[in-house]
Copies of this chain bind each other. A is one copy, B any other.
Amino acid sequence: MRTLQVDLGDRSYPIHIGSGILHDAKLFTPHIQGEVMIVTNETVAPLYLEPLKATLAGLRVNQVILPDGEAYKNLDTINEIFSQLLTCRHSRRTTLVALGGGVIGDMTGFAAACYQRGVDFIQVPTTLLSQVDSSVGGKTGVNHPAGKNMIGAFHQPNVVVIDTDTLKTLPERELSAGIAEVIKYGLIRDTAFLSWLDGNVEDLLKLDESAISYAIEKSCQCKAEIVGLDEKEAGIRAILNLGHTFGHAIESHCGYGNWLHGEAVGAGMIMAAAMSRRLGWLDQAQFDMVKSLILRAKLPGSGPAGMSVESYRLKMAVDKKNIDGLIRLVLLKGLGEADMVSDYPPTALDQTLIECTPSS
């Protein structure tokens, strides 16, 4: 088992990564004061709810099983969690346990942030995406019909338990979507890790235990370093959004859930790299390496066919990073060197969007 400490002063917490650690009670019990509410969904519950309850045997454990999918990531579903907590008379000493992917983690964390003005919570992420992304950083929340992740809170977990065995039940498409975020960490900040990925991406797809654990640890470490520098996203943390402004536009245009988040981010990173090459910050060989790595991870190599520049611009205009109506983008000033950019020529964005969109 590998253990990583996320250093955030009095909100610091450990991340444990290993095979079969869902069954290790001593990773959980130090962070529980007596009552536990497991929040999971209809897909994950049949696989891992009973094993987790067996691990927590002896504690007062209740559960709430939500419908699966981004479509249910809203205030109504959060209210179901509150109702179950109140029905089961959980006090402010309760601990919420998120058992599932990013949607479950985001909602459980937000419910924990707001229940009785804040209770403890534990993340047990069961998808690669949530293991390398949403388990670090304390971002929690839900969507609003008018915008994704527009409602939420910063709330840190007490511990994150990543059992790599849960990836064995993950659909291949979702595994690739998770690898997109792993590649992102190499691109924005760590050229050595990027080289390692170039040599080992196929091992990740095969779920090689040693490769997967290493990639998760490096990803969490990279994110933890950035979050440690900028917990409330005032500055450098924004580079974690490489590919995301493009990606959100794709998800929004196609309807959430049709493209997986990681797939949209994969295509978005190719767009960010293409624009960086257009602005002279990446050379052609570097761009080709980035695109090839993303394709080898079985991710899309371009945006959705026929999506217009106008559609992109409209969707990108509602991004939370924007100030005064300007579309700010995370681009690559070099490999391993991401930066937030807003003083680019508008035509460079338009040409990039056209270049990365197959005609329909």
Contact = CB atoms under 8 A, between A and B. Distances in A.
A11 interface: no
Contacts of A139: 117
A151 B322 contact: no
A101 to B, nearest CB: 20
Contacts of A232: 118
A233 to B, nearest CB: 8
Nearest to A78: B75
A147 B86 contact: yes
Interface stretch (A108-116, A171-179, A308-316): A108-116
Given A144-B83, A146-B83, A152 B114 contact: yes
A168 interface: no
A28 interface: no
B153 A113 contact: yes
Contacts of A322: 91
Given A144-B86, A146-B83, A115 B151 contact: yes
Nearest to A79: B75
Interface in A75-95: 75, 78-79, 82-83, 86-87, 89, 91-93
Contacts of A93: 323
Contacts of A117: 139, 141, 152-154
A318 interface: yes
A86 B150 contact: yes
Contacts of A92: 320
A115 to B, nearest CB: 7
Contact of A144 (B82, B144, B145): B82
Contact of A89 (B75, B89, B154, B318): B318
Contact of A153 (B78, B89, B147, B153): B153
Interface string A205-236: 00000000000000000000000000010000
A124 to B, nearest CB: 23
A153 B82 CA distance: 14
Contact of A146 (B86, B113, B144, B151): B86
A97 B308 CA distance: 39
A152 to B, nearest CB: 5
Given A86-B144, A91-B322, A114-B114, 15 more contacts: A75-B79, A83-B145, A86-B146, A86-B150, A89-B318, A92-B320, A113-B153, A114-B152, A114-B153, A115-B150, A116-B150, A116-B320, A117-B154, A118-B232, A153-B153
Interface of A: 75, 78-79, 82-83, 86-87, 89, 91-93, 113-118, 139, 141, 144-147, 150-154, 232, 318, 320, 322-323
Which 9 A/B pairs are nearest by Cβ-Cβ distance?
A: A86-B146, A117-B152, A114-B151, A116-B320, A75-B75, A82-B144, A86-B147, A75-B79, A92-B320
